Amino acid sequence: QVHLVQSGAEVKKPGASVKVSCKASGYTFTGYYMHWVRQAPGQGLEWMGWINPDDKAHYAQKFQGLVTITRDTSISTTYMELSRLRSDDTAVYYCSRARSMHASDSFDIWGQGTMVTVSS
């Protein structure tokens, strides 16, 4: 069974960075795109970026220069690091495995979410 298990909640100060992990199991980790999506309290879903089977990362324009998505294939884990945090980065952050190794295949399996709170 396919599972994505994310790291626990974080509280950070403005200007700091946060790194959220997403550990995969139940499938061939290297064969799929992995996306990151966030959701601010009471708001909708917002796509942030992905990392593909070739280890290339790609980001929404809004997050260029702020987010870095990486992965460690030896432990089937993907990471999303967001820097220069602001209060409006307070959100639940989700990893989501795509359906396949194609950029146009949408989100399939979701992690449970990680709450990141940015507060002074």
Partner 1 sequence: QTVVTQEPSFSVSPGGTVTLTCGLTSGSVSTSYYPSWYQQTPGQPPRTLVYSTNTRSSGVPDRFSGSILGNKAALTITGAQADDESDYYCVLYMGSGFWVFGGGTKLTVL
Residues that bind partner 1 (CB under 8 A): 35, 37, 44-47, 50, 58, 60, 94, 96, 99, 103-113
CB of 37 to partner 1, least distance (A): 8
Number of Cβ atoms within 10 Å of the Cβ of 9: 12
CB of 120 to partner 1, least distance (A): 26
Number of Cβ atoms within 10 Å of the Cβ of 112: 12
107: Cβ–Cβ under 8 A, 6 or more apart, which residues?
35, 37, 96, 97, 98, 99
**Nearer CB in complex with partner 1: 77/114:** 114
CB of 83 to partner 1, least distance (A): 21
